Amino acid sequence: MIEGGPLVGLFSWLLSIRQLGVGVLFALVLVCSMAVSFFSHQARQYYIQLQSIDTQRDNLDSEYEKLLLEQGAWADFSRVDRVSRTKLGMHPPMAENMVIMVLEK
């Protein structure tokens, strides 16, 4: 058996450093791939949540438009006049019952 001396020791040390470097790189690749997978999943979940919120917004907009139409129907002058005459017994004031006030400076 021939001993190589310091050259063999240096070679085995470089080999162990190389294996350590490969191990570290493998661990980094593994961590990065897990991070990519996690963040891709999280982005999909956020997109699903965004779609749900958009649907809710569209439904609320539709309901708001319906309420505006209903408000317009209830506030129509002819309807208010009809309800005030029939249900409340109201009528326009006669000319002799009106008082006009003028503000003078």
pTM score, two decimals? 0.54
- Residues in the chain, overall count: 105
Confidence band of 29 (pLDDT split at 50, 70, 90): very high
Q: Three-state DSSP class for 61? A: helix
Distance, in Å, from the CA atom of 69 to the CA atom of 73, rounded to the nearest integer, reads 6
Q: How many domains does the chain have?
A: 1
CA atoms within 13 A on the CB side of 44: 6
Asked if the structure places residue 19 within a domain, the reply is yes
Asked if the structure places residue 55 within a domain, the reply is yes
Q: Assess contact for 84 and 90: CB atoms under 8 A.
A: yes
Distance, in Å, from the CA atom of 76 to the CA atom of 83, rounded to the nearest integer, reads 11
Give the tens place of pLDDT for each residue, 33-88.
999 999 999 999 999 999 999 999 999 999 999 999 999 988 888 888 888 899 99
Asked if the structure places residue 65 within a domain, the reply is yes
Asked if the structure places residue 101 within a domain, the reply is no
Asked if the structure places residue 32 within a domain, the reply is yes
What is the residue range of 51's domain? 9-87
